[in-house]
């Protein structure tokens, strides 16, 4: 399996940096500034995938976001049950990434709330975000990148997670030596090490070539099944959404335009008739929603 495929250039979004991105409009939101209490959890010997992240129920209520008077999201509401894989599709600029950033606590909503509840214990739900670009620290080894922000005792666990994404043998490499797909795997491992209850994926596969993307989709699906976190994937690829998600949401004009259940059994065969029908339906609705068809990816 060759992963040394072409690396694409990623665009970097210029982002706001003033103030820590922790607080949002809601009390229950997890504080991203907190390091998870790894010390209290039993350390796993060997390479067994952990099951500590147990999925969180996500409730978004009347979310409004305005940038300089321009409204990006207006009154978006959304319920996602624990452990479900949800994909959000939409055109560029429809507000899907904004929604994700607000849920992640990187942006504040103008109004509205985001509530996360975990079924077990009083513990605060952990949320981790996978960005469009891998955002690895180029001056740290792959292993150190995975263990970023965690206590020193973690390397064994970091290596285990790296093994899960199939890159244990690259632990000592520099990020610059990896291909684009490998870098995203490292980013995925980094997110998984925090044992998230909710994993947000902001078009993490958008810059990868088609083959690598399919491999990554399978990996994400497998890890989601093993770890049991709630997953929220933003993508512009309808096929990717149907291949991975239990539910596909289409966001348009700052609100949810449709909400499609996907009841296909996993792993999903892209060639199957049911798959193709669902994909066609969804694509049709996305295309119908805007006269400017060329703009669709």
Partner 1 sequence: MGSAVIRASRAETRHGGASAHPLVGWIVPVLLLAAWQLISGIGWLPERILPEPWAVVRAAYRLAASGELWEDTEISAARALGGLAIGGGLGFALGLLTGLSRVAETALDSTLQMVRNVPPLAMIPLVILWFGIDEGAKLFLVALGVFFPIYLNTFHGIRSVDRDLIEMARSYGLTRWQLYRDVIFPGALPSILVGLRFSLGLMWVMLIVAETISASSGIGYMTMNAREFLQTDVVMVGILLYALLGKLADLVARGLERYCLRWHPSYRAR
Among the residue ranges 1-9, 31-39, 41-49, 275-283, the one whose residues contact partner 1 (CB under 8 A)? 31-39
For residue 67, the Cα-to-chain-centroid distance in whole angstroms is: 23
User: Is residue 128 part of the contact set for partner 1 (CB under 8 A)?
Assistant: yes
Please work out, in degrees rounded to the nearest 5, the angle formed at the alpha carbon of residue 165 by the alpha carbons of 184 and 2. Answer: 75
Determine which residue in the list 8, 37, 93, 137 makes contact with partner 1, applying CB under 8 A: 137
208 DSSP 8-state letter: S
Among the residue ranges 48-56, 59-67, 168-176, 247-255, the one whose residues contact partner 1 (CB under 8 A)? 168-176
Q: Provide DSSP, 147-164.
A: TTTS-TT-HHHHHHHHHH
Instruction: Compute and round to an integer the Cα radius of gyration of the chain.
Output: 19
Beta strands in the chain (DSSP E): 57-67, 70-80, 85-89, 111-117, 127-130, 198-202, 230-235, 247-252, 255-261
Determine which residue in the list 5, 23, 32, 296 makes contact with partner 1, applying CB under 8 A: 32
Determine which residue in the list 3, 5, 21, 253 makes contact with partner 1, applying CB under 8 A: 21
User: Is residue 15 part of the contact set for partner 1 (CB under 8 A)?
Assistant: yes
Determine which residue in the list 35, 218, 269, 295 makes contact with partner 1, applying CB under 8 A: 35
Q: Pick from 195, 186, 240, 203: which is nearest to 56 by CA?
A: 195
* Closest CB 20 distance from partner 1, rounded Å: 6
* Closest CB 58 distance from partner 1, rounded Å: 17
Q: CA-CA distance, 40 to 53, in Å (whole number)?
A: 14
Closest CB to partner 1 among residues 33, 75: 33
Determine which residue in the list 76, 99, 106, 198 makes contact with partner 1, applying CB under 8 A: 106
Closest CB to partner 1 among residues 35, 211: 35
Maximum CA pair distance of the chain? 56
Using CB under 8 A as the criterion, which residues of the chain lie in contact with partner 1 when the complex forms? 12-15, 17, 20-22, 32-36, 104-106, 128-129, 131, 133, 135, 137-140, 148-149, 174-176, 190, 194
């Amino acid at each position: 399996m060759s992963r040394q495929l072409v690396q694409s250039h990623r665009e970097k979004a210029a982002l706001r940096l003033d103030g820590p991105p922790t607080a949002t409009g809601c009390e229950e939101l997890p504080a991203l500034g907190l390091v998870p209490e790894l010390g209290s959890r039993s350390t796993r010997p060997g390479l067994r995938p952990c099951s500590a992240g147990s999925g969180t129920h996500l409730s978004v209520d009347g979310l409004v976001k305005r940038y300089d008077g321009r409204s990006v999201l207006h009154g978006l509401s959304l319920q996602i049950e624990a452990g479900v894989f949800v994909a959000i599709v939409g055109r560029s600029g429809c507000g899907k990434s904004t929604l994700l950033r607000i849920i992640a606590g990187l942006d504040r909503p103008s109004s509205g709330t985001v509530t996360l509840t975990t079924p077990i214990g009083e513990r605060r739900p952990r949320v981790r975000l996978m960005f469009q670009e891998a955002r690895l620290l180029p001056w740290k080894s792959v292993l150190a990148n995975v263990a970023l922000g965690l206590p020193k005792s973690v390397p064994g666990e970091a290596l285990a997670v790296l093994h899960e994404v199939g890159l244990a043998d690259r632990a000592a490499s520099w990020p610059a030596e990896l291909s684009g797909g490998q870098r995203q795997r490292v980013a995925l491992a980094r997110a998984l090490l925090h044992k998230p209850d909710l994993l947000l994926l902001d078009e993490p596969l958008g810059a990868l070539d088609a083959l690598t993307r399919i491999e990554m989709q399978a990996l994400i699906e497998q890890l989601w099944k093993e770890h049991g976190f709630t997953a929220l994937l933003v993508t512009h690829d309808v096929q990717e959404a149907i291949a991975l998600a239990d539910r596909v949401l289409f966001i348009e004009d700052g609100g949810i335009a449709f909400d499609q259940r996907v009841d296909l059994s996993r792993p999903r065969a892209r060639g199957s008739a049911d798959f193709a029908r669902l994909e066609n339906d969804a694509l049709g609705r996305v295309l119908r929603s805007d006269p400017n068809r060329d703009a669709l990816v």
